[in-house]
Amino acid sequence: MPHRLALLILVALCLPITAQAGILREKLEERREVRSEQQLLVELPAGSRVLHDQPYGTHPRQVFDVYLPPNPQSAPILFMVHGGGWYTGDKARDAVVENKTRHWLGKGYILVSSNYRLLPEADPLTQASDVAQAVTTVQRQARGWGGDPARLALIGHSAGAHLVALLNSDPQLAPGVSPSWLGTVALDSAAFDVPAVMQGRHLPLYDRAFGKDSSYWQKASPLHVLRNDAHPLLAVCSTRRRDACPQADAYAAKARQLGVTVSVVREDRSHGEINADLGADPAYTARVDSFLSSLGLP
């Protein structure tokens, strides 16, 4: 890892000063996110319980955790998809679930946090299919936990935000499975328009995820597969990143042309804080709760 960072710094020295700052800041943020998510100790609200590693496929990564509030009855469900650059990350990391479980279990929600297969074994389109398969499994099993399969929303951060936005843009993306949900929250994706990312200055993690095939870029791009039957979406973007809010704005503009409801919320937080602070910061969390309320969720 140190020699890769040194190489990145060397390349950045050949770029304008503003470009250097942007690339290095985002690379360091990526490394901080991975380090901060290495703590796996999540303290649940009193009376809650968790069902660990529920399978939705045969691969070891095809599992999800179910966080249950005390005595759930027809409880709404939040389905969380972690980030990690499409090549790392885990459903149980504290930045992924700790504050979210504390807040939404306290409101009577069930929170499901899911893994999916990772690069290089699975590309982003395959990962999106994993997410769809997991959601379908959750909806089949929800009543047994005291959940309401018809009141479900998706939420994802970073690479996970790209995956839920991709599914939201084209609900028929994953053949053979038929999940349904009310809407989607995308936490700080900078990959709504994959071709624009790949044709501009970008971090190496995008090359690992999307490769060199421009036709694949189109298929894996939420903006390019966006359909007029897409669900409502809330895009939360960090104003500290150069691409996150412009990407979200472009996606929202395309959605308006198709009659699809997309809202953009700007947050003066880092990429990692966009994820970790949700459920803990009252004002920020209230904006997400307001979107969920617009879907008919409590």
Q: Domain-by-domain residue ranges, the chain? A: 37-294
Among 33-37, 80-84, 168-172, the least confident range:
33-37
Mean pLDDT of the chain: 89
pLDDT tens profile 77-131: 999 999 999 999 999 999 999 999 999 999 999 999 999 999 999 999 999 999 9
Contact 276, 99 (CB under 8 A): yes
pLDDT at residue 178, as a whole number: 81
- Check: CATH 3.40.50.1820 for 37-294? yes
pLDDT at residue 41, as a whole number: 58
Residue count of the chain = 298
- Is the per-residue pLDDT at 15 higher than 50? no
Mean pLDDT, residues 291-298 taken together = 97
pLDDT at residue 46, as a whole number: 85
Contact 21, 12 (CB under 8 A): no
pLDDT at residue 38, as a whole number: 43
The per-residue DSSP string of the chain comes to -HHHHHHHHHHHTTS-HHHHHHHHHHHHHHHHHHHHTT----PPPTT-EEEEEEESSSSTT-EEEEEE-SS-SSEEEEEEE--STTT---TT-HHHHHHHHHHHHHTT-EEEEE----TTTS-HHHHHHHHHHHHHHHHHHHHHHTEEEEEEEEEEETHHHHHHHHHHH-TT-STT-----SEEEEES-S-SSHHHHHHSS--HHHHHHH-S-HHHHHHT-HHHH--TTPPPEEEEEETTSSSHHHHHHHHHHHHHHHT--EEEEEESS-HHHHHHTTTTSHHHHHHHHHHHHHTT--
Distance of CA 27 to the CA centre of its chain: 19
Q: Which one is predicted more confidently, 211 or 34?
A: 211
